[in-house]
Chain A
Amino acid sequence: DAGVTQSPTHLIKTRGQQVTLRCSPISGHKSVSWYQQVLGQGPQFIFQYYEKEERGRGNFPDRFSARQFPNYSSELNVNALLLGDSALYLCASSLEGTSNQPQHFGDGTRLSIL
């Protein structure tokens, strides 16, 4: 069975541009979470979605937004890109996004801002 898939793998943007990252969860998983990992640090929580509803939001500016589709796939959008947005963006899925359910990560999208 396929794991969590993310696209694109790599992306290069310039400051002020907008970007959309995509994620497909493991088959049967209904919850998707997004994390940002800056080099040398642990991942930081951005959003969690379950059944198309936002369940949680981390401490990120409104330039970050996301949505989940009926097939449980998800998109993360970032507007007005800043140099500091350069990071590995990770998508994780779990069965229903409730406690005690392990999250499994995709390979990530590496975003570089010039």
Chain B
Amino acid sequence: QKEVEQNSGPLSVPEGAIASLNCTYSDRGSQSFFWYRQYSGKSPELIMFIYSNGDKEDGRFTAQLNKASQYVSLLIRDSQPSDSATYLCAVEDAGNMLTFGGGTRLMVKP
């Protein structure tokens, strides 16, 4: 049984701070890792993906992957109230099928 674990939160950060979201996974064969943002009542929206160990930056977002520790994280710099949402970590096996964590709810307070 493949598992993806996230702290459900809520994670509360002040506006302008760095939000750090973490995810661990059980399947060492996992190849690709995705972060989705989901606003309440909406569908998941892809914001980042990472395939190789290390960091990947895109604007205010940085994804970090450590396959040896089976750990992936998402950093959001200069957090804005509009970043308040649930962040879903998804892990892909060789067949492009995604296993999701339960999500972390982020609250950015003005």
- CB nearest neighbor in B for A88: B43
A41-B102, A100-B31 given; A105·B43 CB < 8 A: yes
In contact, B100 and A104 (Cβ under 8 angstroms)? no
**List of B residues within 8 angstroms of A42 by Cβ:** 4, 88, 90, 100-103
Q: What 1/0 flags go to B67-110 for Cβ under 8 Å of A? A: 00000000000000000000010101011111111110000000
Report B31-49 residues with CB < 8 Å from chain A CB: 31-32, 34, 36, 42-46, 49
A43-B88, A48-B97, A56-B97 given; A103·B103 CB < 8 A: no
In contact, A102 and B34 (Cβ under 8 angstroms)? yes
**A-binding residues in B (CB < 8 A):** 4, 31-32, 34, 36, 42-46, 49, 51, 88, 90, 92, 94-103
